[in-house]
């Protein structure tokens, strides 16, 4: 059974991860996908998000103390909740296995938990290249409007970019915060270079990224940014904030990272990408070197291996969490 606190209607990253893993596992296992554990029999429970799925994690561990329990750590729990939330902390100890979604994620965990932690990079099918228009430089932004995605940086960098640059910023994402939605709408009215597209399906968002010259991804918190993966596998280079959830996908030496909240730094990188073909090609090459890490077959093999090993062991090795 795979538990995710988000439903399909939310169009959220956690739901897409759970649905994709369910497809990978159904070739070998009978899989149930739900938003909570309801007491149904399960040989193995996979729960996304240590805090939001805490009740399911705690109940399953108490009811089935010898069954494997895998907790997948996403952005807000790995980089915020486990520091202060007791339920999230308890989930870490109850898990027989932990999963992080970027190469640096395990470093955020206490040393005693790293032995039971696996890195699994998410994936996206590769898309073919498209020819980009030369008269307009299009920047895609894909992410719901909420504080963790820092949409304000997108609006703040617009005045910092030369108005003579033929720039177009296309921003896809639902307004999960009404105030941010009002700000997006106001920016679209005041600056014609910015277009807020609202919520889009995953397929529509991928095509947006594919047709853009770059993806701008300014998040302050990510477990492993799916938008970054989808851009890379669509041959679209990325300009991103220097956080583990981006750097742990693109690599520490990736040449287009800016500090969190640094609109001026992001603006300089956007201008370089627009005005310097050599720099843009450098980003394309850097992304191409990482693209193979995000192949669906690679993720599918890792997820199936994780569950196979968990079921083969069936020995609970819980870590005691100090109260």
Q: At what angle do helices 13-25 and 296-313 cross, to 10 degrees?
A: 70
User: Residue 194 domain-assigned?
Assistant: yes
User: Residue 319 domain-assigned?
Assistant: no
User: Residue 129 domain-assigned?
Assistant: no
CB 95 within 8 A of CB 70: yes
How many residues are there in the chain?
Answer: 323
pLDDT of residue 285: 97
Question: In sequence order, what are the beta bridge partners of 250?
Answer: none
- Same domain? 141 vs 79: no
- Same domain? 94 vs 141: no
CB 214 within 8 A of CB 283: yes
**110: exposed, middle or buried (Cβ count in 10 Å: 0-12, 13-18, 19+):** exposed
pLDDT digits (tens, 9 = 90+) for 9-37: 444 668 889 999 999 999 999 999 999 99
- Same domain? 166 vs 260: yes
Residue that wins the pLDDT comparison between 306 and 135: 306
Query: What's the CATH code of the domain at 235?
Result: 3.40.50.2000
Q: Is the pLDDT of residue 165 over 60?
A: yes
**26: exposed, middle or buried (Cβ count in 10 Å: 0-12, 13-18, 19+):** exposed
Domain that holds residue 210: 137-294
pLDDT digits (tens, 9 = 90+) for 191-222: 999 999 999 999 999 999 999 999 999 999 99
Mean pLDDT of the chain: 93
């Amino acid at each position: 059974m795979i538990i995710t606190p988000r439903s399909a209607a939310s169009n959220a990253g956690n739901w897409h991860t759970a649905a994709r893993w369910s497809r990978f596992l159904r070739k070998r296992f009978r899989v149930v996908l739900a938003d909570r554990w309801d007491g149904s029999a399960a040989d193995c429970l996979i729960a996304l998000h240590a805090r939001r799925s805490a009740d399911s994690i705690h109940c399953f561990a108490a009811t089935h103390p010898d069954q494997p329990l895998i907790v997948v750590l996403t952005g807000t729990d790995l980089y915020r909740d486990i520091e202060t939330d007791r339920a999230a902390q308890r989930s870490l100890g109850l898990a027989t296995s932990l999963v992080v979604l970027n190469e640096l994620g395990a470093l955020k965990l206490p040393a005693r938990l790293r032995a039971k932690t696996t890195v699994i990079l998410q994936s996206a099918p590769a898309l073919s290249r498209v020819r980009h228009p030369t008269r307009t430089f299009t920047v895609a932004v894909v992410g719901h409007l909420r504080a963790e995605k820092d949409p304000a940086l997108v609006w703040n960098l617009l005045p910092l970019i030369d108005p003579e640059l033929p720039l177009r910023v296309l921003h896809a994402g639902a307004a999960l915060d009404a105030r941010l939605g009002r700000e997006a709408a106001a920016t679209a009215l005041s600056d014609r270079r910015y277009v807020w597209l609202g919520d889009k399906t995953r397929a529509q968002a991928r095509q947006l990224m594919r047709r853009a010259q770059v993806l701008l991804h300014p998040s302050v918190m990510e477990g492993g940014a799916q938008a970054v993966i989808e851009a890379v596998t669509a041959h679209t280079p990325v300009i991103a904030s220097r956080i583990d959830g981006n750097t742990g996908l693109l690599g520490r030496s990736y040449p287009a990272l800016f500090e969190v909240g640094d609109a001026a730094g992001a603006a300089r990188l956007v201008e370089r990408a627009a005005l310097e073909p050599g720099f843009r090609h450098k980003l394309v090459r850097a992304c191409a070197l990482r693209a193979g890490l995000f192949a669906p077959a690679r993720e599918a093999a890792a997820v199936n291996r994780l569950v196979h090993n968990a079921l083969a062991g069936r020995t609970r090795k819980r870590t005691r969490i100090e109260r």
